[in-house]
Amino acid sequence: MTLTPRSTHLAPSQSVFYSPSPVATPVAVTPRRSNSHPAARLRLRCCCSAGDPAAMVKAIRVHELGGPEALRWEEVEVGEPGDGEIRIRNTAIGVNFIDVYFRKGVYPAPLPFTPGMEAVGVVTAVGPGLTGRKVGDVVAYAGKPMGSYAEEQIIPADVAVPVPPKVDHKTAAAIMLKGMTVHMLVRRIFKVETGHTVLVHAAAGGVGSLLCQWANALGATVIGTVSNEEKATHAHFDGCHHVIMYTKEDVATRVKEITGGKGVNVVYDSVGKDTYKASLECLASRGFLVSFGQSSGSPDPISMGDLASKSLFLTRPSVMHADLEARKTSGSVLLIP
């Protein structure tokens, strides 16, 4: 099975708002350790400071929580890798909804910080005595440490994996975090098998498009929801047998028609508040609702009675910008430094 991510490419300046004036005072950022891995190390300097220009790179920074306007394109100093670390020059950076959650403060992070949870790049330096990685290696990483929205960064060497020569950088960056998420959703949270019927909300999105392909390859009947005709075309291409435009049709009613009144075995819901009730209505007896995102906001508190009538199961797994939040994008969004 080959998964094919669709990606939108942005230069960092296309997705951020510039600060009207340079930062007046240099700010030192103390590396933060989490689960034994330090945060990706970048030291912020004023754009007009007297440093070595060769040591400066650009990064997207967040100094205060908020909307896309909180993203600032600034110069930072990367420094040299320490023990067990490598420095990488990012060539393609994945953009994910978890980045939005950090920027808004849904997930806490000490300010200021550099967002970004995945990237592909070329190793430009290795720490003292490090083996297994060398300058020139093409590597990818996803998850912690946060900080991939930068031209260069330092990360622990053990979180980087080699990118095969036949896989281009953009494809690797588009599929790392999303691909691992989809694997967990269809093989570990609810194991999709031949004969199952699945409903995928936001079927044309980054995770949704991969999820539809994978579920189709496993032999499931795939129903996807989208907002417009263009996304419907994408969803069909990505393996949806049935596509519902929720802007024109009632999702629960249409699902019942497609399934002959039975409902689906599992709903994969990354939307949250706007889709939660319809998702429950779409489920067959003893069906699974997998809520793994909240792009429309957190679902309202549930009553156990909502699950009891059909003996439903509900799970909320923990899985590791303007157009993105407005759901105007389809496929994966990448930053190209």
Domains of the chain, by residue range, sit at 7-174, 177-332
Does domain 7-174 fall into CATH 1.10.4160.10? no
pLDDT in tens, 49-69: 333 434 689 999 999 999 999
Mean pLDDT for 146-175 is 93
The pLDDT assigned to 105 comes to: 93
Task: State the average pLDDT for the chain.
Answer: 82
- 300 CB-contact burial (10 Å; exposed 0-12 / middle 13-18 / buried 19+): exposed
The pLDDT assigned to 49 comes to: 34
Q: What is the rounded CA–CA span in Å between residue 216 and residue 97? A: 24
Mean pLDDT for 171-183 is 88
The pairing of strands 221-226 and 197-200 is parallel
Q: What is the rounded CA–CA span in Å between residue 208 and residue 216? A: 12
Indicate whether 123 pLDDT > 90: yes
Banded model confidence at residue 43, pLDDT cuts 50, 70, 90: very low
Assigned token pair, 238: 């990505």
CATH number of 177-332: 3.40.50.720
C-beta of residue 28 within 8 angstroms of C-beta of residue 43: yes
Indicate whether 28 pLDDT > 90: no
Mean pLDDT for 197-217 is 95
Residue whose entry in the numeric block shows the structure tokens 């023990």: 83
Q: What is the percent of the chain with per-residue pLDDT over 90, rounded to a whole number?
A: 62
Look at residue 302 and give its three-state secondary structure.
coil
The pLDDT assigned to 333 comes to: 53
pLDDT in tens, 71-118: 999 999 999 999 999 999 999 999 888 899 899 998 899 999 999 999
The pairing of strands 197-200 and 152-156 is unpaired
Highest mean pLDDT among 3-7, 15-19, 244-248: 244-248
The pLDDT assigned to 178 comes to: 86
Banded model confidence at residue 176, pLDDT cuts 50, 70, 90: confident
Between 233 and 181, the higher pLDDT residue: 233
Q: What is the rounded CA–CA span in Å between residue 189 and residue 16? A: 35
Indicate whether 22 pLDDT > 60: no
The pLDDT assigned to 121 comes to: 96
Q: What is the rounded CA–CA span in Å between residue 168 and residue 258? A: 38
pLDDT in tens, 234-277: 999 999 999 999 999 999 999 999 999 999 999 999 998 888 89
Residue whose entry in the numeric block shows the structure tokens 């030291």: 43
Residue whose entry in the numeric block shows the structure tokens 């929580």: 65
Strand partners, 154: 41, 87
Assigned token pair, 273: 């508040």
Which of 234-258 are b and which e, b meaning 16 or more Cβ less than 10 Å from the residue's Cβ? bbbebbbbbbbbbeeeebbebbbeb
Mean pLDDT for 199-218 is 95
Q: What is the rounded CA–CA span in Å between residue 227 and residue 58? A: 36
Look at residue 322 and give its three-state secondary structure.
helix
Q: What is the rounded CA–CA span in Å between residue 147 and residue 119? A: 9
Least confident of 24-28, 72-76, 192-196: 24-28
Residue whose entry in the numeric block shows the structure tokens 């098998």: 193
C-beta of residue 93 within 8 angstroms of C-beta of residue 118: yes
pTM: 0.68
